[in-house]
Structures are given as C-alpha cells and as structure tokens.
C-alpha cells in the first residue's frame, strides 16, 4: 500500500507551526533516518558503515533541516547504548556537514 500525503492531509496532521511542504520534507527525512537507525540497531550496519551512510544523508538539505530541528529530541529520547551511539555518529556528521568539512574521521 502506498501512502500519499496531500497538502490537506499534511496540514491537518501538522497543526500549528509547520507548513505542509515542510511537514512532508521532515516526514521523508524521518523515514530515511529511522531506516538507518533500525539497520544499525539490529546489527546490519556497524559504526563505520553508519558513518558513511550518515555522511551521505547529511549531504542533503532535507536531512540537515530535520536534524537541526529534531536531533535534540532524538538525543533526549535515546533509550539504550545503540541509540546513543547512533545519535553521536549522526550528530558528528551533521556538525561536519554544517561546518563545511563534509567528513568526520
């Protein structure tokens, strides 16, 4: 089943503070990042693999915008060491992308 978000559905789901286009962008970025998180948490990605994948995602403005807005929330909600490791790698790649380094050793 394919889920399509119309402008009206997005606007209704968002409530106040976020326009429908921004909501759709944040939802898409969340899906990308949740996929990375799930693969990392079950062991399909290790730290090095995740770092490469995070670097690739953080090259996209959609991911940078998402992490700037929701990275602190993800950090606050981290429940186990894998979540903390995931967030640390994502944050490092976010910081590198924002500073223009584009890579973290």
Q: Domain of residue 16: give its range.
A: 7-99
Tell me whether residue 105 is in a domain: no
Is 58 a member of any domain?
yes
12 domain residue, yes or no? yes
Number of domain units in the chain: 1
Within a domain: 104? no
Domain-embedded: residue 90: yes
Q: Looking at the domain assignment, is residue 40 inside a domain?
A: yes
**Does 36 or 104 have the greater pLDDT score?**
36
Q: What is the band of 101 on the pLDDT scale with cuts at 50, 70, 90?
A: low
What local confidence, expressed as pLDDT, does residue 10 receive? 55
Q: Does residue 1 lie within any of the structural domains?
A: no
Q: What is the pTM of this model?
A: 0.80
Q: Is 2 within the bounds of a domain?
A: no
33-63 pLDDT, tens digit per residue, is 999 999 999 999 999 999 999 999 999 999 9
Q: Which one, of 82, 96, 79, 17, lies nearest residue 44 by Cα? A: 82
Burial class (CB in 10 A: 0-12, 13-18, 19+), 58: buried
């Amino acid at each position: 089943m394919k889920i399509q978000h119309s402008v009206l559905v997005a606007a209704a789901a968002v409530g106040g503070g976020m326009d429908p286009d921004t909501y759709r962008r944040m939802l898409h970025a969340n899906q990308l990042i949740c996929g990375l998180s799930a693969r990392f948490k079950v062991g399909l990605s290790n730290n090095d693999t995740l770092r490469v994948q995070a670097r690739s995602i953080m090259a996209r403005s959609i991911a940078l915008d998402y992490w700037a807005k929701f990275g602190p929330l993800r950090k606050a909600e981290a429940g186990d060491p894998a979540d903390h490791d995931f967030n640390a790698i994502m944050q490092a790649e976010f910081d590198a992308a924002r500073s223009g380094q584009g890579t973290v050793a």
